[in-house]
Amino acid sequence: MSLSLSSLRHIAGLTAAELHATGLSDGHPSDTLSGNVSVTAITADSRAVMPGTLFAAVPGVKADGRAFIASAVEKGAVAVLAPTGTTWPENVPERPLVLTPNPRHALAVMAAALAGPQPENLVAITGTNGKTSTADFLRQLWALQGLKAAGLGTLGLTGVDLPPITMPALTTPDPVALANGLAALARAGVQHVALEASSHGLEQNRLDGLHLSAAGFTNLTRDHLDYHGTVEAYREAKLKLFADLLPSGRIAAANADMDSVTLDALRAIARTRNLTLRTVGEAGETIRLITHTPLPSGQELVLDVGGQKHTLSLALPGRFQVDNALLAAALAAPDDAALMQKVDLLPQLQGVRGRMERAVVLPNGASAYVDFAHTPDALARLLASLRPHALGRLIVVFGAGGDRDKGKRPLMAQEAERGADIAIITDDNPRTEDAAAIRADVKAGAPDALEIGDRRAAIAEALAMLGPQDVLVVAGKGHEQGQIIGTEVHPFDDADVLRTLAGQSLANAAPAAQA
Ligand SMILES: CC(=O)N[C@H]1[C@@H](OP(=O)(O)OP(=O)(O)OC[C@H]2O[C@@H](n3ccc(=O)[nH]c3=O)[C@H](O)[C@@H]2O)O[C@H](CO)[C@@H](O)[C@@H]1O[C@H](C)C(=O)N[C@@H](C)C(=O)N[C@H](CCC(=O)O)C(=O)O
Ligand SMILES: Nc1ncnc2c1ncn2[C@@H]1O[C@H](COP(=O)(O)OP(=O)(O)OP(=O)(O)O)[C@@H](O)[C@H]1O
Ligand SMILES: N[C@H](CCC[C@H](N)C(=O)O)C(=O)O
Ligand SMILES: [Mg+2]
């Protein structure tokens, strides 16, 4: 699809006064520069510019996109979008220059306009933990009703019979990939999409071009303060989904057991913006969790759904999975009358890859789980959820990622030490940081924890410790397929490593047992 620059500016709410170009002495654009150029694509990456592209030159964390205007023009950019105050670089052929205080917002809105259709039911989920799980449960609930549905987030694009669409490996993709991916899904008849809204994505306006039908909020606890600076700024970024992006009159759903500051702020936004707020959980008003009883194969739930008591079994272990399942049900129901029907589907939900996934059961009855907990709150809840399953000891292997929030490292360790009988600190994507220094930051919160840097060796050591009825959980990587050291990704899959090592130890044990 192509659109004229002036239509794009109109769509993004940018006025004529914001169109400039160097060499225009009277400040008024000439005909060529008046915005009648045809734009076929938009990108914020000069390396992706092709003839006909509008280049969004945005300052970022590592680089300043304005340094690449010359290169974009050389590659055929027909116009440039940039922050107010940007001047045209010297010795670069003139192009229309659209200036706005928030070019990332304009980029997302224009990308959506150029991409075309969006799925009719587009639900975004935010929160510190539980976005992927809730989005996948929602996708499953739709699929169970026979609807063509997709999930989009940390796991990439998920669903059955989807067109081949490549997405960047981010929880919330950049606005151009997002808009194009969603348009491809809509064109393929996928009208139900559950999407993760990360705080980075919200802060960077990646979702600003989307037409959302509902939005969910799981919880807000510590993470990503390296990027947002303060909890307040982090909360503000998450709340943007409800304050700015979700259109008035739509459904907002939240876990009522989340911190009260965030919940109160959400309630205030819902009131002001006329959103229908649904709450779930122990304090939930829409779906209230009355009791939950862990069972060997999952858990039994007693719920109050709109005043009606309802008992059902969930085939998933872990208290936090109940929160995610109930939030998904609240988001799946277009009106209150449909709530019970969605709740009735919950027993059919299947586990999400790498989320409390039981990878190995040893002949002595010990189990080993893989989970994606990488925050203090997630680790605390994970270990509390596993405790009833550990008739023996509970052992955790975990680490903290490099180039990510340093403040969470000792807090994660405290939760590991508090919640498990044995905690083993290991490496989890050191990225460009020194792995030993990360482990030292972690160990400051758990001086008694064991430290084994090599992740495979740490898992092997933990497996060797497992006595009858013990439970091991390897946390932090979940579905991940690699260990990122420097900028290189070394293949690594916790579940595979567990299965391989458990198989080897059984093979090694066999001759000894016969002797
Ligand atoms: C810190 C961060 O979020 N960075 C994201 C951001 O990059 P940025 O805009 O700051 O980029 P930059 O490298 O400073 O460059 C500035 C601009 O110059 C442009 N450029 C750069 C080089 C060049 O040759 N030409 C060019 O035009 C860049 O395309 C960019 O537009 O925007 C890019 C495009 O959307 C993202 O790819 C990039 O994600 C990086 C890779 C990343 O690691 N992000 C992580 C932290 C992230 O976003 N995680 C969240 C949260 C996960 C969770 O929930 O836990 C996620 O949604 O995945
Ligand atoms: N509702 C919840 N409350 C607290 N912890 C949770 C909740 N749901 C999941 N977790 C924990 O967080 C981990 C990650 O879950 P999930 O992948 O669903 O979260 P996410 O928000 O998508 O994470 P990311 O920010 O990395 O995308 C799980 O493996 C579990 O340990
Ligand atoms: N989306 C999260 C994933 C963290 C996973 C963990 N394995 C790590 O590397 O810290 C992040 O980018 O912070
Ligand atoms: Mg996720």
Instruction: Judge if the beta carbon of residue 385 lies within 6 A of ligand 2.
Output: no
Domain 116-348 carries which CATH code?
3.40.1190.10
Confidence of residue 27 (pLDDT cuts 50, 70, 90): very low
The architecture in CATH of the region 357-502 reads Alpha-Beta Complex (3.90)
The identity of residue 383, as a single letter, is L
Higher pLDDT, 131 or 26: 131
Token output for 213: 């039908």
CA angle 153, 154, 155 (to 5 degrees): 90
The pLDDT > 70 percentage for the chain reads: 95
Say what percent of the chain tops pLDDT 90: 92
Asked if residues 473 and 357 have their Cβ atoms less than 8 Å apart, the reply is: no
Predicted pLDDT at 18 = 77
Q: What is the mean pLDDT of residues 135-152?
A: 98
Give the annotated binding-site residues for ATP.
Answer: 127-133
Measured in angstroms, how far is the CA atom of residue 11 from the centroid of ligand 3?
Answer: 36
Rounded to an integer, the average pLDDT of 348-372 is: 96
- Read off the pLDDT of residues 35-79 as tens digits, 9 standing for 90 and up: 579 999 999 999 999 999 999 999 999 999 999 999 999 999 999
For the chain, the structural domain boundaries read 3-111, 116-348, 357-502
List the one residue out of 50, 32, 33, 34 whose CA is nearest residue 42.
50
The DSSP-derived string for 18-56 is: GEE-TT-TTS---STTTT--EE-EEES-GGG--TTEEEE
pLDDT at 26: 40
Distance (angstroms) between ligand 3 centre and the Cα of 439 equals: 15
Which atom belonging to ligand 2 lies closest to the Cα atom of 255? 1
Ligand nearest to the CA of 354: 2
Q: Which residues are CB-contacts of 27 (< 8 A; sequence separation ≥ 6)? A: 20
| pLDDT at site 21 | 64
With a cut of 60, say whether residue 515 has pLDDT above it.
Answer: no
List, as residue ranges, the binding site for meso-2,6-diaminopimelate: 404, 428-431, 476, 480
Mutation pick for ligand 1 pocket among 126, 128, 170, 408 (CB with most ligand atoms within 8 Å): 170
Closest CA to 400 of 410, 387, 414: 410
Supply the residue whose CA is at minimum distance from atom 33 of ligand 1. Answer: 174
**What is the CA(335)–ligand 1 centre distance, in A?**
38
Q: What is the mean pLDDT of residues 446-475?
A: 97
* Confidence band, pLDDT 50/70/90 cuts, at residue 1: confident
pLDDT band at residue 508, thresholds of 50, 70 and 90? low
Give the annotated binding-site residues.
46, 127-133, 171-172, 198, 204, 206, 404, 428-431, 476, 480
What is the band of 297 on the pLDDT scale with cuts at 50, 70, 90? confident
Query: 351 CB less than 6 Å from ligand 1?
Result: no
Kindly state if the Cβ of 382 falls inside 6 Å of ligand 2. yes
Q: What is the pLDDT of residues 150-166, one digit of tens each?
A: 999 999 999 999 999 99
pLDDT band (50, 70, 90) for residue 259: very high
pLDDT of residue 32 exceeding 90, the answer is no
- Contact 426 CB / ligand 2 (< 6 Å): no
Where residue 281 falls (left for φ over 0; alpha for ψ -120 to 50; beta otherwise) is left
**235 sits in which H/E element:** helix 231-240
For ligand 1, whether the C-beta of 169 sits within 6 Å is no
Mean pLDDT, all residues of the chain = 94
436 pLDDT higher than 80: yes
pLDDT for residue 19: 79
Same fold, 3-111 and 357-502: no
pLDDT (mean) for 474-497: 98
Separation of alpha carbons 48 and 238, rounded Å: 29
* pLDDT reading at 29 higher than 90: no
114 Cα to the center of ligand 4, angstroms: 27
Q: Which atom of ligand 3 is nearest to the CA of 171?
A: 1
Fold of 3-111: 3.40.1390
Nearest CA to ligand 3 atom 1: 171
When pLDDT is cut at 50, 70 and 90, the band that residue 504 belongs to is confident
pLDDT at position 123 over 90:
yes
List the residue whose alpha carbon is closest to atom 13 of ligand 3. Answer: 404
User: Distance, CA 222 to ligand 4 centroid (Å)?
Assistant: 15
Establish whether residue 476 lines the binding site of ligand 3, counting it when its CB lies within 6 angstroms of any ligand atom. Answer: yes
Kindly list the distances between the CA atom of residue 468 and the CA atoms of 361, 363, 394, 463, in Å, as whole numbers in the listed order.
11, 9, 11, 12
Which residue, 1, 13, 210, is CA-closest to 98? 13
Q: What is the pLDDT of residue 513?
A: 36
Position 509 confidence tier, pLDDT thresholds 50, 70, 90: low
Is the minimum distance from the CB of 357 to ligand 2 under 6 angstroms? no
Tell me what percent of the chain is helix, strand and coil, each rounded to the nearest 5.
Answer: 35, 25, 40
Ligand having the closest approach to the CA of 378: 2
User: Is the ipTM above a cut-off of 0.95?
Assistant: yes
pLDDT at 427: 98
For residue 511, pLDDT beyond 50: no
Output the CA 130–ligand 2 centroid distance in Å: 3
Q: Phi first, then psi: what are they for 163, rounded to 5°?
A: -65, 155
The residue assigned the tokens 């680490």 is: 399
Give, for ligand 3, the residue of 429, 442, 474 to mutate: max count of ligand atoms closer than 8 Å to Cβ: 429
